[in-house]
Amino acid sequence: MTNTIDGFGEQVFNMTVMKNSLSEPTFLALKKTIESGCALDARVADEVAEAMKEWALERGCTHYTHWFQPLTGATAEKHDSFITPDFKGGMITRFSGEELTQGEPDASSFPSGGLRATFEARGYTGWDPTSPAFIKDGTLCVPTIFCGYHGEALDKKTPLLRSMAALNKQVCRLGKLFGVESKGDQMAYTTLGSEQEYFLIDEDLYNARLDLQQTGRTLFGCAPAKHQQMEDHYFGAIRTRILAFMQDLDAALWRLGVPAKTRHNEVCPAQFELAPMFENLNLSIDHNMLTMELLHKTAEEHGLVCLLHEKPFAGVNGSGKHNNWSICGPDGKNWLSPGDNPHENAKFMTVICALIKAVDTHADLLRATVATAGNDHRLGANEAPPAIVSIFLGDQLSDIIEQISKGGASTSKHGGHIELGVDLLPKLPRGNTDRNRTSPFAFTGNKFEFRAVGSNQNPAGANVVLNTIVAEALDEISAALEAATAKGEDFNTALQTLLAGIVKKHRRILFDGDNYTDEWRDEAAARGLPNMRTTPEALKMLKTDKAKKLFAKYGVLSEQELASRYEVYIEAYEKTVAIEAAVAVEMARTMIVPSALESVQSLAATIAAVADCCPVTQTKALCCKTQEHAEKALAACDKLEAAAHPAEQLAAMLELREAVDTLETIVPDALWPLPTYAEMLFLY
């Protein structure tokens, strides 16, 4: 058997390939850009392009593409060949620095939320040298940004890179106050590990479900007698068919340099998870987008279909994308990892307090980043966090936060004393906190896990907000410390006073208990925490003056760019609900009700045939019940077609589903036109 690990990164134009194929000055210039974020000298682009082309040709490529992430939430690509006529009846291969650095796909048909009119077709892609080129499906893919003619961000990557730059600036600023020196040209950056949950079902069953084909989720379906109650699927032995899929998926991801690390069965039958190693945030998001694409492609090769909808099946677990986020400082250390000395712990505690401040101030924006029609069905049920954003710190850290709010920490809940001086926190063991599976934003030892991101989402949106709000918090903390020390105040005293004030003001966001309970919902309301249960409610937070000022101040999104996001996302929500409504009506009228009426006809014939010799009371009741719910389904279809707004459509769909799901329990299996949950959830 071939060792697929040995092929890790073989389809990536990575540092090793660059070093071997570029001149030393060009390689060093490109390496500096990648590591420090400085501008790339345009003069090196031609050499890099030529080296990329030769490397790609050696591996059988005939085309290249600028690979970008428009506001559709997916990726996009337009392929161009390397060939150029030589005007002698032949051709040569060519890939110039200009072709590498800039492309011009048509921008008119991508969602722009008003940033571009339909007749304004011009859009530009620009090379992102910090994310390496790679080969996919025999094509050289160059990661790029995507912007309009006047520089408007039309994609997910552009604001992400802007937010990373904003956070880098503020982390380095805070670092100077703590005497942190960067290592060479190294800058601060955020890291991400995106755990990806997904479902697999048999391709034949998928093809028999119009709702799955058109919407990605089942609009009808009863929970089977056995589904996930026994919890025997979670971390269970992986079935042979699924393991073969996972092995091929890992091999494909590894060739593309995606550090897929963990694979396992999830809670619900037919549900699984893939988790990668941590990487630079920008690269990690590119890799997650590749992962989602390869999940679909590899599943097809195994006669399966991968479902990435947040709630493909009602009544059981949905799927998320756990966003494990941390900060790497200019000293090369993880600033969300407890330190080995009081000075390191003071810095750690400052970052923790910055996150508390940021999340409390902008909980509404974080909720908006995960607002989609699919995620509305998931949030708040079956291990998904609720729509109320709160922070879990764990017993030990929560205890120290409490002490800080009272004037300074002096002991650790788990023993030990804090040394006097700059310290704010005792030395903490790794894994110093339990996990709270119900918390939307949980500290897990050396990172924060934002669990509300939907499985089908591009994680860039959540991280743009997270980077920006933390940048703001660090900005305000640094400014306060700079002002205090400029007045001659002792740094450590000023820091302790500042952090105590932050904790007192923002402690309402902290909650270590069960986020699912009605008691927490009531308590959160009393604390004044926002609870936006639907996408329309949440997306309105993008239109507030607070949001406009935040993104404009740090150069992440202009007011026009932010407004465009609202328009794109609300339109996507409305279209999604409208499509689901149309599909539900079509399935009910053309598949489900006819089957129910056939059952009624069969029952009526039986009743007529045996009425003179047998009691048929129960049979008549069953016949009447089937007819009754068929009528209810048709009435709900009429109501659904008349509904004008998403809220009305969703309510009518629930009414229709109730009638249809009742019919599923009484119409004979031989007549029922759809694969059932019992068939789809159990793969053999």
φ/ψ (deg, to 5) at 69? -125, 85
**What integer pLDDT is reported at residue 238 of this predicted model?**
94
Please give the average per-residue pLDDT across 676-682, as a whole number.
Answer: 95
Helices (H) and strands (E) in the chain, counts: 23, 17
Per-residue pLDDT reduced to its tens digit, 328-345:
999 999 999 987 777 788
Domain end marker among 522, 557, 592 = 557
Report the percentage of the chain scoring pLDDT > 70.
93
Q: Are residues 130 and 191 in the same domain?
A: no
Q: Return the pLDDT at 102.
A: 92
User: Is position 570 within any domain?
Assistant: no
Task: Provide the domain limits for residue 17.
Answer: 4-154
Indicate the pLDDT class of residue 32, thresholds 50, 70 and 90. Answer: confident
How many domains are contained in the chain? 3
Whether residues 476 and 604 share a domain: the answer is no
Question: Mean pLDDT throughout 502-508?
Answer: 96
End-of-domain residue from the set 105, 131, 154: 154
**Which residues, in sequence order, are CB contacts of 176 under 8 Å at separation 6+?**
none
Tokens for 368? 């908006």
Residue 565 lies in a domain: no
Could you read off the pLDDT of 515-556 as tens digits, one per residue? Answer: 988 899 999 999 999 999 899 999 999 999 999 999 999 999
pLDDT given at position 121: 63
In angstroms, the Cα distances linking 430 to 338, 425, 652 are 8, 14, 50
Q: Quick check: 424 pLDDT over 90?
A: no
| CATH number of the domain where residue 582 is located | 1.20.120.1560
3-state SS record for 515-565: CCCHHHHHHHHHHCCCCCCCHHHHHHHHHCHHHHHHHHHCCCCCHHHHHHH
The confidence score (pLDDT) of residue 416 equals: 45
Q: What is the pLDDT of residue 395?
A: 85
**C-alpha distances in angstroms, 616 versus 604, 607, 610, 612?**
10, 6, 8, 9
42 vs 572, more confident: 572
pLDDT at residue 61 is higher than 90: yes
The structure tokens listed for 150 are: 């006047």
Residue 421: predicted pLDDT = 44
> What would the mean pLDDT of 346-368 be, rounded to a whole number?
96
Q: CA–CA separation, 364 vs 540, rounded Å?
A: 9
140 and 184 in a single domain? The answer is no
Confidence class for position 606, pLDDT limits 50, 70, 90:
very high
Alpha-carbon Rg of the chain, whole angstroms?
28
pLDDT in tens, 619-640: 999 999 999 999 999 999 999 9
When mean pLDDT is compared across 104-118, 403-417, 440-454, 619-633, the lowest value belongs to: 403-417
Q: Which of 154, 176, 197 corresponds to the end of one domain?
A: 154
Q: What is the DSSP letter of 589?
A: I
532 shares a domain with 513: yes
| CA–CA gap between residue 336 and residue 444 (Å, rounded) | 10
Quick one: pLDDT at residue 524? 95
| pLDDT classification of 422: cutoffs 50, 70, 90 | very low
As to burial, measured by CB atoms within 10 angstroms (0-12 exposed, 13-18 middle, 19+ buried), residue 544 is middle
**Which whole number is the average pLDDT over 582-599?**
98
Using the structure block, give the residue that is written with the tokens 């006073």. Answer: 497
Q: Read off the tokens for 53.
A: 């082309």
Asked if pLDDT for residue 417 goes beyond 60, the answer is: no
Indicate the SS3 state at residue 575. Answer: helix
Instruction: Reply yes or no on whether the pLDDT at 411 is more than 70.
Output: no
CATH label of the domain that carries residue 103: 3.10.20.70
Mean pLDDT of 249-259: 97
Show the tokens assigned to 444: 């897990």
Is residue 667 a contact partner of residue 626, using CB atoms and an 8 Å limit? Answer: yes
Residue 668 in any domain: the answer is yes
**In whole angstroms, what is the distance from residue 665 CA to residue 660 CA?**
9
- Residue percentage of the chain with pLDDT more than 90: 76
Helix intervals (H) in 437-490: 460-486
Angle, vertex CA 288, rays to CA 531 and CA 122, nearest 5: 90
Answer whether residue 207 is part of any domain.
yes
Q: Please tell me the predicted confidence (pLDDT) of residue 485.
A: 95
Q: Please give the C-alpha separations between residue 318 and each of 201, 219, 306, in angstroms, as whole numbers.
A: 14, 14, 14
Residue found under tokens 């004979």: 668
Is pLDDT of 119 > 70?
Answer: no
pLDDT of the residue at 184: 64
Name the residue type at position 123: G
Instruction: Tell me, yes or no, whether 566 lies in a domain.
Output: no
Q: Is the dihedral of CA 173, 440, 307, 638 positive or negative?
A: negative
Q: Which tokens go with 503?
A: 């904790």
- Residue 616: predicted pLDDT: 83
Mean pLDDT of 504-512: 95
State yes or no: pLDDT of 104 exceeds 60: yes
367 and 263 fall within a common domain = yes
Same domain for 545 and 647, yes or no, is no
pLDDT for res 380: 64
Token pair, residue 318, equals 């949905």
Residue 160 lies in a domain: no
Assess whether pLDDT exceeds 60 at residue 644: yes
431 has pLDDT over 60: no
Separation of alpha carbons 22 and 16, rounded Å: 10
What mean pLDDT do residues 218-231 have? 90
Show Cβ contacts of residue 553 under 8 Å, excluding neighbours closer than 6 positions. 472
Query: Is the pLDDT at 463 greater than 50, yes or no?
Result: yes
What does pLDDT average to over the chain?
91
SS3 state of residue 323: strand
Question: Using one digit for the tens of pLDDT, what is the confidence trace for 374-396?
Answer: 999 998 654 567 889 999 998 88
Task: Flag whether 378 is in a domain.
Answer: yes
Amino acid of residue 200: L
Specify the pLDDT at position 107.
65
Contacts of 601 (CB under 8 A, 6+ apart): none
The helix (run of H) or strand (run of E) holding residue 443 is strand 441-443
Q: Is the pLDDT of residue 662 over 60?
A: yes
Same-domain status, 499 and 583: no
Q: What is the DSSP string of 152-192?
A: -B-BSHHHHHHHHHHHHHHHHHHHHHTT---STT---EEEE
Q: Which of 4-18, 83-97, 541-555, 645-659 has the lowest mean pLDDT?
A: 83-97
Output the CA angle 165-167-173, nearest 5 degrees: 105
**pLDDT digit string (tens) for 297-337?**
999 999 999 999 999 999 999 999 999 999 999 999 999 99
Average pLDDT of span 112-122 = 72
d(CA 48, CA 454): 37
| Domain co-membership, 552 together with 604 | no
Q: pLDDT tens for residues 123-182?
A: 899 999 999 999 999 999 999 999 988 889 999 999 999 999 999 999 999 999 999 877
How far is 443 from 425, CA to CA, in rounded Å?
16
Predicted pLDDT of residue 437: 72
pLDDT at 420: 33
476 & 617 share domain: no
Query: Do the domain assignments include residue 145?
Result: yes
Bridge-based pairing of strands 304-307 and 189-202 is: antiparallel
